[in-house]
């Protein structure tokens, strides 16, 4: 099973600041990585697919990069609606797996 | 507009069975891959099972032999038949639609399954 490790577990930032989230895979997953945002009581929402492609309707302040084993989600300038939990997920190999999440909280 | 609506969750005793349903609209089950994903309270999402547009099925090891994914194309409904339920099956269960380059592009709102005596 491919293990995805996200860091940090919690990121405390202020609105307007830049957020940088990391996801590391236990083996190479090429660019078959997605990022999701989840708010309390809601389903995850797809942000980024195939490492760097924004999903439909996702603002340009969200960007993804990386390939192989190391990936980054960047939020260029945090809006109040961006404070949430973010998960990465790989789709190269069964079972599909998610990372443990990074909580972006208001400082 | 793509929509997915789950139902069928509830409280079930250990060892019991439950069938979850997911009615979809805005697309046809015969043309897209769909999955069930669950999330226990405070935990990361966990993939459970996938049914491809071609009819192939995939399961995580912990549910193989206990869960069955299926679809009714005439009613555009996805199912998850669960049996031999245990406490570690307690979670919100989501159905999700794939896109060509993503596993879970659209999600339902989820249905809660609680396994407890």
Tokens of A86: 């973010």
Tokens of B21: 């349903």
Q: What is the mean pLDDT of chain B?
A: 97
Strand partners, B71: B78
Tokens of A66: 């990386």
**Inter-CA distances, A42 with A6, A25, A45, A75, B24, Å:** 21, 26, 9, 20, 18
Instruction: Say how far apart CA B85 and CA B67 lie, in whole Å.
Output: 9
Does position A5 have pLDDT exceeding 90, yes or no?
yes
**Tens-digit pLDDT profile for residues B34-77:** 999 999 999 999 999 999 999 999 999 999 999 999 999 999 99
User: How many A-B residue pairs are in contact by the CB < 8 A criterion?
Assistant: 53
**Tens-digit pLDDT profile for residues A9-63:** 999 999 999 999 999 999 999 999 999 999 999 999 999 999 999 999 999 999 9
- Chain A residues with at least one Cβ partner in B under 8 Å: 34, 36, 38, 42-46, 49-50, 53, 55, 87, 89, 91, 94-101
Does position B103 have pLDDT exceeding 90, yes or no?
no
Contact A96 B103 (CB under 8 A): yes
From chain A, the residues in CB contact with B109 under 8 A are 42-43
**Tens-digit pLDDT profile for residues A67-81:** 999 999 999 999 999
Instruction: Say how far apart CA A26 and CA A33 lie, in whole Å.
Output: 13
Tokens of B73: 């194309």
Closest CB from B44, B94, B105 relative to A99: B44
The predicted structure's pLDDT at residue B102: 83
Residue B49 sits at the vertex; the CA angle it makes with A21 and B26, to the nearest 5 degrees, is 85
Percentage of chain B beyond pLDDT 70 is 100
Specify whether the backbone of A101 is left (phi greater than 0), alpha (psi in -120 to 50) or beta: left
Does position B78 have pLDDT exceeding 90, yes or no?
yes
From chain A, the residues in CB contact with B22 under 8 A are none
The predicted structure's pLDDT at residue B101: 81
Closest CB from A53, A87, A94 relative to B44: A87
Instruction: Say how far apart CA B108 and CA B81 lie, in whole Å.
Output: 17
Which of A5, A43, A102 to probe by mutation at the B interface, max B CB count within 10 Å? A43
Contact B44 A100 (CB under 8 A): yes
The mean pLDDT of B10-22, rounded to a whole number, is 98
Tell me whether B25 touches chain A (CB under 8 Å).
no
Exposure string over A8-38, b if 16+ CB within 10 A, otherwise e: eeebebeeeeebebbbbbeeebebbbbbbbb
From chain A, the residues in CB contact with B94 under 8 A are 43-44
Tell me whether B40 touches chain A (CB under 8 Å).
no
């Amino acid at each position: 099973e491919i293990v995805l490790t996200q860091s940090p577990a919690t990121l405390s930032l202020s609105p307007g600041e830049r957020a940088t989230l990391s996801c590391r895979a236990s083996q190479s997953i090429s660019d078959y990585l997605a990022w999701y945002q989840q708010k309390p009581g809601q389903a995850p929402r797809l942000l980024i697919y195939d490492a760097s492609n924004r999903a439909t309707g996702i603002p340009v302040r969200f960007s993804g990069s990386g390939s192989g084993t190391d990936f980054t989600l960047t939020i260029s300038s945090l809006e109040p609606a961006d404070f949430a939990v973010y998960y990465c997920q790989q789709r190269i190999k069964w079972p599909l797996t998610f990372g443990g999440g990074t909580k972006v909280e208001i400082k | 507009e793509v929509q997915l609506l789950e139902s069928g969750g509830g409280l079930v005793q250990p060892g019991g069975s439950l069938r979850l349903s997911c009615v979809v609209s805005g697309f046809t089950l015969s043309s897209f891959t769909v999955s069930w994903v669950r999330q226990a309270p405070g935990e990361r999402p966990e993939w459970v099972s996938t049914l491809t547009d071609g009819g192939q099925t995939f399961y995580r090891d912990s549910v193989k032999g206990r869960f069955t994914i299926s679809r009714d194309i005439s009613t555009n409904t996805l199912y998850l038949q669960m049996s031999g339920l245990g406490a570690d099956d307690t979670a919100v269960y989501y159905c999700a639609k794939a896109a060509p380059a993503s596993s879970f592009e659209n999600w339902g709102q989820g249905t809660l399954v609680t396994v407890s005596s």
